[in-house]
Amino acid sequence: MTAMPYRVEFACAHQPVPPETVPELPFRPVVLEGMTVQPRAEASGQAKWLTWVVRAIGMTAPGAATGTSGAAPGRSAATSGTAAKSAA
């Protein structure tokens, strides 16, 4: 099975900085703080499918201390007034 990339929107006061890479891994492990996942139905002509919107308020390295994000828990980009930032 091919790995699929995910886009995560961050609603926080600052640009999150991803943790360092792990040389043995083909991906960068992160812990998403305040993560929410919301389904969204999309359509193009007669084709219909389900996509997912993933949002977080911060990110840390696995095992690192949490609480370094800049937004209040439970607040989305629309209600906090900050622009959503993306990380790839």
Q: Cβ(16)–Cβ(29) under 8 Å?
A: no
Angle at 63 between CA 79 and CA 87, to 5 degrees: 45
**For residue range 10-51, what is the model confidence (pLDDT) as tens digits?**
888 888 888 888 899 988 899 999 999 999 999 999 999 999
Other beta carbons less than 10 A from residue 55's beta carbon:
17
Q: Is residue 48 part of a domain?
A: yes
Q: Is residue 31 part of a domain?
A: yes
Q: Which residue range(s) make up the domain with 35?
A: 8-82
Q: How many domains does the chain have?
A: 1
Q: Is residue 26 part of a domain?
A: yes
**How much is the pLDDT for 49?**
92
